[in-house]
């Protein structure tokens, strides 16, 4: 057996995806995330692929790899990093081609002209694609990004009175707490993120106004890109980790008056598409197999600008983008098989672990972490076989062996039987102690699951003794 991988090298993480069945995309995927931190994304991606090619995945060899790139410069960096590791069996896949490959396989791309809105950690890429003519128009900006969302949470936390502040505003753990709060707000109205020095409390009513200028700026950028492309798109597809932010979908629908599609697991759609393109390229694919944007396609990079001042006034909560709308007049729509498949993630691995592994090791712990994660069995939501079943223990009592009867019945001898005095049997009954009354649990703050703080009871008032000479006559 052989495995196929799809790999993306982002500024925050390298993502590796392995299809369960390369010939059937609906069978599901496993994926692994390797944090880049200070590492070069292209080199880290090549090192990760090199480790997996040497060690294999769950006993299978890695036969084909689809490397997803953003632009020509990114493709050159990936090609050089793979050559440094001595790897040549891979396919370079453009981001738009990877996205279209996955969306075509799942049927999530209605119409012929679409806008791909890819919001990642370092910036936003907007691509207008026409499937009929093959025209592609791509522009990128760093004026909005996932990290700027994190900074909005961080600056709000530092500027709030009466809340915990870290000693170092740039502390890595504090920044990670702010990022976690942002991510958890994608599925909750309010969150509490604990850390070693304090807790970050954040609600959607606070978070949405913080990022509204950034999100509206991204909608304005998307509108301008569509105008410059000259196309008339029929739908908008959200990709990247920023697709989970609920405000993004609502603002784009309001500004563009177009349906917005959020694919299943939008942050790894490109890696999945890279794997599918590697399958289509065939087992003999090498570095010469490249899927670059067609000639005549335009690409424009917009330099970053200063972040607009943040506001903290208002904004109503938005609906969650994940569930589909339910029609009251009929039964809910059945979830397609490709969306029911649960992508099994593995544990996070740092780039330092990958760099330490290199190509020389064999039974390395990092290989086991990635290989086992990518080789895990896929599960489906609602699968009865995944539920633990109770263990039945059957205790059988062996039949009593009958005593053999004597051949000749003995003659009973006369005996004198003395009946002992009957003793009264006494049964002790243990009376359980009376139940101890327990105090009811303290009330919780709605949405935060934190007990409402209470004041201690006030001490009794002191008694003032009036001297006799000051007493009034009765």
Angle, helices 365-374 vs 41-55, to 10°: value is 80
Residue 16: closest CA among 35, 2, 34: 34
For residue 449, what pLDDT band results from cuts at 50, 70 and 90?
Answer: low
Q: Report yes or no on 156 lying in a domain.
A: no
Q: Which of 68-82, 203-217, 224-238, 326-340 has the lowest mean pLDDT?
A: 326-340
Q: Residue 212: which CATH number?
A: 3.30.420.40
pLDDT tens sequence across 66-104: 999 999 999 999 999 999 999 999 999 999 999 999 999
> Does residue 413 have a pLDDT over 70?
no
290 found inside a domain: yes
- CA gap 182, 169 in Å, rounded: 17
pLDDT at position 198 over 60: yes
How large is the average pLDDT for residues 320-325?
38
Which pLDDT does position 335 carry in this prediction? 44
Give the pLDDT band (50/70/90) at residue 464: confident
What pLDDT does residue 265 have? 94
Asked if residue 339 has pLDDT above 50, the reply is no
The pLDDT confidence band at residue 437, using thresholds 50, 70 and 90, is: low
pLDDT at 296 over 80: no
Instruction: Return the HEC string of the chain.
Output: CEEEEEEEECCCEEEEEEECCCCCHHHCEEEEEEECCCCCHHHHHHHHHHHHHHHCECCEEEEEEEEEECCHHHHHHHHHHHHHCCCCCCEEEEHHHHHHHHHHHHCCCCCCEEEEEEECCCCEEEEEEECCCCCEEEEEECCCCHHHHHHHHHHHHHHCCCCCCCCCCCCHHHHHHHHHHHHHCCCCCEEEEECCCCEEEEEHHHHHHHHHHHHHHHHHHHHHHHHHHCCCCCEEEEECHHHHCHHHHHHHHHHHCCCEECCCCHHHHHHHHHHHHHHHHCCCCCCCCEECCCCCCEEEEECCCCCCCCCCCCCCCCCCCCCCCCCCCCCCCCCCHHHHEECEECCCEEHHHHHHHCCCCCCCHHHHHHHHHHCCCCEECCCHHHCCCCCCCCCCCCCCCCCCCCCCCCCCCCCCCCCCCCCCCCCCCCCCCCCCCCCCCCCECCCCCCECCCCCCCCCCCCCCCCHHHCCCC
The pTM of this model reads 0.66
- Is 80 exceeded by the pLDDT of residue 203? yes
Is residue 87 domain-resident?
A: yes
More confident residue, 258 or 159: 258
Average pLDDT over residues 246-270: 97
441: in domain: no
Please state the rounded mean pLDDT for residues 262-288.
83
> Any bridge partners for residue 260, and if so which?
236
| pLDDT: which is higher, 452 or 203 | 203
CB 8 within 8 A of CB 15: yes
Handedness of CA 369, 119, 176, 171 (dihedral sign): positive
Q: Which domain holds residue 123?
A: 2-148+206-326+339-381
- Could you tell me if residue 89 is inside a domain? yes
Which tokens sit at 264?
């299943």
Q: What is the pLDDT of residue 459?
A: 72
The reported pLDDT for the residue numbered 473 is 64
Model confidence at 225: pLDDT above 70: yes
What sign has the CA pseudo-torsion 309, 313, 319, 322?
A: positive
Q: Which of 19-23, 43-47, 261-265, 274-278 has the lowest mean pLDDT?
A: 19-23
Give the percent of the chain with pLDDT over 70. 59
pLDDT for 159 equals 82
Mean of the per-residue pLDDT values of the chain: 74
**Weakest mean pLDDT among 6-15, 167-176, 215-224, 417-426:** 417-426
Residue 193 lies in a domain: no
| Residue 133 or 415, more confident | 133
Identify whether 175 is part of a domain.
Answer: no
Of 44-58, 135-149, 154-168, 351-365, which one has max mean pLDDT?
135-149
Domain count, the chain: 1
> pLDDT band at residue 117, thresholds of 50, 70 and 90?
very high
Please determine, for residue 220, whether its predicted confidence score (pLDDT) is greater than 80.
yes
pLDDT digits (tens, 9 = 90+) for 345-402: 555 555 555 554 443 333 344 544 565 456 554 433 333 333 333 333 333 334 444 4
Residue 433 lies in a domain: no
pLDDT at 76: 97
């Amino acid at each position: 057996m052989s495995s196929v991988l799809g790999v993306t090298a982002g500024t925050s993480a390298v993502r590796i995806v392995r299809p369960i069945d390369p010939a059937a995309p609906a069978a599901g995927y496993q994926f692994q995330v390797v944090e880049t931190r200070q590492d070069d994304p292209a080199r880290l991606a090549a090192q990760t692929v090199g480790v997996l090619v040497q060690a294999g995945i769950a006993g299978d060899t890695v036969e084909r790899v689809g490397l997803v790139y953003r632009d020509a410069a990114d493709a050159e960096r990936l090609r050089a990093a793979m050559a440094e590791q001595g790897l040549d069996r891979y396919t370079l896949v453009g981001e738009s081609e990877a996205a279209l490959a996955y969306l075509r396989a799942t049927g999530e791309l209605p119409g012929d002209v679409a806008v791909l809105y890819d919001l990642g950690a370092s910036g936003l890429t907007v691509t207008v694609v026409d499937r009929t003519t093959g025209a592609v128009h791509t522009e990128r900006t760093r004026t909005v990004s996932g990290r700027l969302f994190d900074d909005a949470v961080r600056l709000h936390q530092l500027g709030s009175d009466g809340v915990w502040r870290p000693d170092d505003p740039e502390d890595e753990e504090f920044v990670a707490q702010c990022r976690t709060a942002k991510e958890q707000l994608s599925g909750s109205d309010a969150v509490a993120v604990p850390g070693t020095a304090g807790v970050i409390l954040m609600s959607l009513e606070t978070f949405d106004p913080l990022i509204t200028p950034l999100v509206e700026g991204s909608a304005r950028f998307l509108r301008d890109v569509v105008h410059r492309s000259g196309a008339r798109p029929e739908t908008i597809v959200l990709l990247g980790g920023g697709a989970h932010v609920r405000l993004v979908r609502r603002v784009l629908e309001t500004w563009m008056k177009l349906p917005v599609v959020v694919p299943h697991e939008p942050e790894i759609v490109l890696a999945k598409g890279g794997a599918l393109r590697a399958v289509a390229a065939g087992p003999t694919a090498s570095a010469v197999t490249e899927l670059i944007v067609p000639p005549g396609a335009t690409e424009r990079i917009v330099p970053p600008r200063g972040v607009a001042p943040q506001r903290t006034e208002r904004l109503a909560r938005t609906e969650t983008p994940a569930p589909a709308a339910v029609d009251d007049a009929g039964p809910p729509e059945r979830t397609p098989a490709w969306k029911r498949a649960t992508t099994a993630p593995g544990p996070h691995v740092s780039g330092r672990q990958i760099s330490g592994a290199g190509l020389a090791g064999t039974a390395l712990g990092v290989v086991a972490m990635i290989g086992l994660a990518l080789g895990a069995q896929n599960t489906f939501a609602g699968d009865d076989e995944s539920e633990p079943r109770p263990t039945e223990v059957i205790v059988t009592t062996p039949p009593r062996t009958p005593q053999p009867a004597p051949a000749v019945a003995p003659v009973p001898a006369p005996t004198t039987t003395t009946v002992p005095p009957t003793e009264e049997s006494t049964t002790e009954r243990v009376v359980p102690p009376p139940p101890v009354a327990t105090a009811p649990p303290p009330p919780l703050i709605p949405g935060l699951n934190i007990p409402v703080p209470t004041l201690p009871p006030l001490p009794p008032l002191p008694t003032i003794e009036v001297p006799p000479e000051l007493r009034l006559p009765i």
